[in-house]
Amino acid sequence: MKTSSNATTRTRRERPSKASKERADGAPDSTRLIVDAITTAVVEHRLAPGAKLTEQTLAGIYGVSRTIVRQALYQLARDHLVTLAPGRGAFIATPSVDEARQVFSVRRHLEQYLVEEFCGKAASADVRALREHVRREQAALGKPDVRGRTHLLGDFHVLMAQRLGLDVLSELLSELISRCALVALMYQSSRAAQHSSDEHLQILDALEARDTPRAKALMEAHLRATEDSLLYHPRTPSIDLREVLGQSR
Ligand SMILES: [Zn+2]
């Protein structure tokens, strides 16, 4: 599998469902506007975990139909940022620290195996593809698009598996990383993101040198540092939906 992983994961994650059918009435743009506004409000700690997202209120704020609002909520739910509770409505997901810890624990094991495989089997083209990816990460660090930055940082790990044709592993990693998306979006500072990307570079140097013990140690330290930077933060208070999103238009 030699396609660009970023393009692949991007397409899968951000493909707006049914968007092509709705293009005539401008639905994708409205959907994206709502997705971006809610994501930004979460990132900026203006919307707290557990906050209720009332369809009617959102439709009123953005002047769109509830169908459009529902599409936005589905898209956010697919990214694990929103929880859809049958009969109760939509809520900003409540990130569980325990779940995040479990995710990191599983990732540490899988990624030790991944590093071994990469050192043993990767071609120089695979190393070049990772370098190109880290260049994109570094370019994204200075920009305000926190969601894009978070995806890119996770994609580095997925790309390693994809380059080796380890499709099952790459899907598992994608799923694990996306389960921590809300935690990452809320709690990862831009400084931590810079560190994360710099660590990718060090790991990459060890991979290129086929230094398996060093690459494994660096990967282990990287995942532990990421976990620590995400999981020790206080919760934020709930705020009124209309107040938060009504002003951000
Ligand atoms: Zn990483």
Ligand 1 centre distance from Cα of residue 181 (Å): 13
Ligand 1 centre distance from Cα of residue 223 (Å): 7
Ligand 1 centre distance from Cα of residue 45 (Å): 23
Ligand 1 centre distance from Cα of residue 33 (Å): 28
The continuous run of DSSP H or E covering 105 comes out as helix 97-121
**pTM of the shown model:** 0.69
* Per-residue model confidence as pLDDT tens digits over 140-199: 988 878 778 888 888 999 999 999 999 999 989 988 887 777 777 777 778 888 899 999
Ligand 1 centre distance from Cα of residue 154 (Å): 6
pLDDT at 12 over 90: no
Handedness of CA 49, 55, 56, 58 (dihedral sign): positive
Ligand 1 centre distance from Cα of residue 153 (Å): 6
Burial, 11: exposed, middle or buried (Cβ in 10 Å; 0-12, 13-18, 19+)? exposed
Q: Which pLDDT score is estimated for 167?
A: 95
pLDDT at 13 over 60: no
Q: Which candidate, 181, 175, 179, places its Cα nearest to that of 151?
A: 181
- CATH code of 96-231, in short, is 1.20.120.530
Class of 7-94+235-246 per CATH?
mainly alpha
Ligand 1 centre distance from Cα of residue 94 (Å): 23
* Per-residue model confidence as pLDDT tens digits over 88-109: 999 998 877 788 888 889 999 9
Q: What is residue 234's three-state secondary structure?
A: coil
Structure tokens that stand for 195 in this block:
């560190």
Q: What is the DSSP letter of 72?
A: H
The continuous run of DSSP H or E covering 18 comes out as none
Ligand 1 centre distance from Cα of residue 216 (Å): 13
Please indicate whether residue 128 or residue 240 has the higher confidence score (pLDDT). Answer: 128
pLDDT at 220 over 90: yes
Q: Domain boundaries in the chain?
A: 7-94+235-246, 96-231
Q: What is the residue-wise DSSP string for 117-182? A: HHHHH--HHHHHHHHHHHHHHHHHHTSS-HHHHHHHHHHHHHHHHHHTT-HHHHHHHHHHHHHTHH
Q: What is residue 243's three-state secondary structure?
A: helix
